[in-house]
Structure 1
Amino acid sequence: MDIRTIKTFQTIIKLGSFQRAAEELQYGQSTVTMHIQKLESDLGVKLLERGKKLSLTEAGRLFHQNADLLLKDYDWLQASMDELVKGEAGLIRLGVMEPTASYRLPELLGPFLRHHPKVKISIHIGNTTVLGTMLHEGSIDMAICSTPASGLEHTFEPLFVEQLALLLPEAHPLAEKPTIYLRDLQHEQLLITNTLCPYRQKLESALLEHGGSPYAAMEIGNMAALKYYVQADFGIAVVPVITATPSPPGTILRPIADLGDGLMTGLLRKPAGSPVSLATEKLVAIFRERLRGAAG
């Protein structure tokens, strides 16, 4: 069945004649006749009795009663597809690494969703390794994360550097030093995240390169919790600056002179040329505008 033939049939019933339906639909009368013939042929039943006055057959009455629902569903589907094509609707599956997920993303998504209320966003929080796997498997459409270990499968667009600093209790001896170096962390109780966390990986690599090893460590799986364990005097932690600004009462945030740049963060996406919705591209444009060059 062609949706146009159904609309033609319903218009004939509404107006009571082929001629009026042709005028309403801006068709030639022969086109209207052809539509009804095709519809009856497709259904294998007669819908209309033609005479001085049109009348519906039993099949015609049944079809007429249900055709409006079909047309409404079609109109809804057509409108939904139009909105999708225009970037006004759809689902964006976004992967995000901390601390961006908690500290940067909400203020970006709020205005976007207010301007695009029919766009749905599902957020998956994880480290770069997990998000890269999800992107490869098609579970997410893009990710905001650190530089991946390999760029062969996906494209990575750097946006900003997440700055790092040392958070420690105000009474800690290192708080009095004019300049803190990685070697000063030797034998300190470091609070660290899990082994897959890129922040921990960067810190451990820097410690090995600059003589800050060995050290004692207490692993805490949630990065957001680190500052509270420092506040409770369980140890010291190298944290993204944005997560400890302002620093919790009783703690102080200090730079580490030889830690180098922070962690590069950017957009991880499928290779160029992969299909992507217009809504996704609109959100990418906001990320580029608002996150590029952001500092911790």
Structure 2
Amino acid sequence: MSDLTHKLYYCFAAIFTLLIIASLIVFILKVLHPKRNWLELKQRITSWWIIIILFFLAMISPEWLALTFFGFMSFLALKEYLTLSPTRRSDGIPLLWMYAAIPLQYVWAGMAWYGMFIIFIPVYVFLFLPARMVIVGDTKGFLHSASVMHWGMMTTVFALSHIAFLLVMPHHLAGTGVLLVIFLVALTEMNDIAQYLWGKGLGKIKVTPKVSPNKTLAGLLGGVFTTTVLAALIGPLLTPMDSLHSLGAGALIGLSGFCGDVVMSAIKRDFGVKDSGKLIPGHGGILDRLDSLIYTAPLFFHFYYYFYA
């Protein structure tokens, strides 16, 4: 078994250990305080088990299957987004073209064809969708509908597909892409948790009270600090990055993760919903789990691509 494979299994062993501890804590709380309602907390832990197991299976699967997994995540995210977004009846065919673009984007990622990957959605899909909409001849709400489609493609497909490209990016060490994906996803989720805990413990000053009232300055700064320190510690162990670049990557993930969270919160408020869906019990919809990654994935990808690819 190679050193990279050992690192992969050590990572997931640590994650599963934390999940076991969390499950035990929930069990003890239910025994000590049986009259209190622990359903939401139990649902969250159960959902994390499902999420981590699926992610683990994707990471140890053949490359094509892992790419299919991430492509399916983009499909679910886009479907959930379009369910919330107001679109016109005349937009049926352009919407089908949006779904058809998903496998193509992941094919470019699987081929590691950076040139096509980076321009397919921002250029070709961007220009094609309104041109296809014009054929129908419906001009009422045209700009709004085109904007909804473009934003959906950029966030749920283009941004998230950077995780897939990170997985297959050519490296001087085979298999490094898997560890980079784990580094990105783990730190993004830890940043969310750290911001929540710092905000609950010390948060008084609201950062975005009209968008996300629970976001505080203490949560933001504490989350970024925690994520940066963790990145500096585990970055050199998991990835080809040195301590300095790992530190920079951690700060980038911490700040961009916060931005992704509040931007998607603003979109949900515009839609008039608290959660984007009910796919994951205790967590809301798929977009509620991927909101931070929409920002962290492309920014971390290009940070790493610039310095190491």
Normalised to the residue count of structure 1, the TM-score between the two structures is 0.21
| Structure whose residues are more often helix by fraction | 2
Pick 1 or 2: higher relative contact order, CA cutoff 8 A, min separation 6: 1
Tell me which protein shows more strand as a share of its residues.
1
